[in-house]
């Protein structure tokens, strides 16, 4: 049996959520907008443009188009300075074990991320060659929870959506997987990701037996 396994990137493969948080936090502070970790949770899986719109709404601030773009670029430059220092040590625990298991069992593997920096990050952590298809923020027009990113990944893998499994850490991403008709696996908090078909704290808690069962389904 061959299935399509689609991985989100930020928060699933690498812990870049902390870098997004730092960069947004500094930006919000410079605009005198309070910014908490709970608000940051709402930005997970959300595109760069949509994230800035949300932050400005929270601060009841409006910016000209020019200032908006400059602000977004500033955030990304800070973020890039963090990720430029990333190494393989920042791959989340047991991600490589799961990727290797999927390869050994001839499964198809794709990336489905909202990030425009996805390829840079995969290069940094030397995981690019695992992915047959990469769909990222540069290839999609509709952000998660729209299923576009995952449907494109399934198409790239040439696997029907109902034969695909998605690993996601964000609420928007789980909703996207569900509306694509795929099996959704939450990586993170059960309460936050309650809409997922299954939830694991992280990959260390996901036995190979579980993956075997998914493949058989």
Q: Total binding residues for ligand G6P by CB under 6 A?
A: 17
146 noted as active-site residue: no
Q: Which of residues 170-189 bind ligand G6P (CB under 6 A)?
A: 170
**What mask, x for binding ligand G6P by CB under 6 A, covers residues 98 to 137?**
----------------xxxx-------------------x
The sign one gets for the Cα dihedral 110, 115, 120, 121 is negative
For every residue of 11-36, DSSP letters joined together read TTTB-THHHHHHHHHHHHHHTT----
| Contact (Cβ atoms closer than 8 angstroms) between residue 88 and residue 125 | yes
9 marked ligand binding residue = yes
Chain position carrying tokens 């809409």: 195
Look at the block and give the residue holding tokens 């099996």.
183
- Where do contacts with Mg ion occur on this chain (CB under 5 A)? 8, 10-11, 169-170
199, 177 contact by CB (below 8 A): no
Lookup: tokens for 78: 């800070």
Provide the minimum distance between the beta carbon of 47 and ligand G6P in the complex, in angstroms, as a whole number: 5
Q: Is residue 155 a known part of a binding site?
A: no
- Tell me if 25 contacts ligand G6P by CB under 6 A: no
Residue 96 φ then ψ, to 5°: -70, -35
Q: Is 169 annotated as a binding residue?
A: yes
The number of C-alpha atoms within 13 Å of 105 and in the hemisphere containing its C-beta is 21
Site for ligand G6P contains 148 (CB under 6 A): no
Q: Give 51 or 152: the residue with its C-beta nearer to ligand G6P.
A: 51
Binding-site residue set: 8-10, 24, 43-48, 51, 75, 113-117, 144, 168-169
The catalytic residue positions are 8, 10
Contact residues toward ligand G6P (CB under 6 A) are 10-11, 20, 43-48, 51, 76, 114-117, 137, 170
């Amino acid at each position: 049996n061959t299935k399509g396994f689609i991985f989100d990137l930020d928060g699933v493969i690498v812990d870049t959520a902390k870098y997004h948080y730092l960069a947004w936090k500094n930006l919000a502070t410079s605009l005198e907008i309070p910014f908490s970790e709970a608000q940051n949770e709402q930005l997970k899986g959300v595109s760069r443009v949509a994230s800035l719109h949300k932050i400005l709404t929270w601060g009841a601030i409006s910016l000209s188009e020019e200032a908006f773009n400059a602000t977004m670029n500033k955030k990304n430059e800070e973020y890039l300075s963090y990720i430029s220092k990333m190494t393989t040590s920042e791959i989340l625990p047991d991600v490589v074990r799961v990727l290797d298991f999927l390869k050994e069992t001839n499964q198809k593997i794709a990336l489905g991320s909202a990030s425009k920096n996805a390829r840079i990050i995969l290069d940094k952590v030397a995981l690019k060659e695992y992915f047959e298809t990469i769909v990222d923020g540069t290839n999609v027009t509709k952000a998660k929870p729209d299923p576009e990113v995952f449907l494109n990944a399934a198409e790239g893998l040439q696997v029907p959506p109902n034969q695909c499994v998605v690993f996601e850490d964000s609420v928007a991403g789980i909703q996207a997987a569900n509306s694509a008709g795929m099996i959704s696996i939450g990586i993170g908090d059960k309460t936050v990701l309650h809409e997922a078909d299954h939830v694991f704290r992280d990959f260390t808690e996901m036995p190979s037996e579980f993956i075997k069962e998914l493949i058989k389904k």
